[in-house]
Amino acid sequence: MNFERLNAYRIMWVLVMFDLPTETKKDRKIYARFRKDILADGFSMFQFSMYIRHCSSRENADVHIQRVKNILPPKGHVGIMNITDKQFGQMEIFNGKDVVEAPETSQQLELF
């Protein structure tokens, strides 16, 4: 059995996309706090207001999805999606018309 193939379907990526209000000083503070909290949970900026996190399994992805749900701001739109490593690897990324390499899978040690 090809374990690499199985791993490509077991390893997950969590994507968090958000559009939060920034009109008032309080709104900007809430936006900054949410962004800081997801960064502290191991997410990396993929694009403005889109952050990604590599997870070793679906169960691990569920933990991080729940953490994001626990810090949702009172206003604004937040989308959370999880996809397999295989699906993530099929994404085409461009900077203008130039093809860009996908982010490398980070090797993270997680202690529970």
The amino acid sitting at 20 is L
Q: Do 52 and 103 contact (CB within 8 A), yes or no?
A: yes
Please give the order of strands across the beta sheet that includes 44-47. Answer: 44-47, 50-55, 12-19, 77-84
- Residue 105 has a pLDDT of 64
Burial of 110 (0-12, 13-18, 19+ CB in 10 A): exposed
- Provide CATH code, domain 3-91: 3.30.70.240
pLDDT digits (tens, 9 = 90+) for 31-41: 999 999 999 99
pLDDT digits (tens, 9 = 90+) for 3-48: 555 577 899 999 999 999 999 999 999 999 999 999 999 999 999 9
pLDDT digits (tens, 9 = 90+) for 54-91: 999 999 999 999 999 999 999 999 999 999 999 999 99
Q: Do 105 and 85 contact (CB within 8 A), yes or no?
A: yes
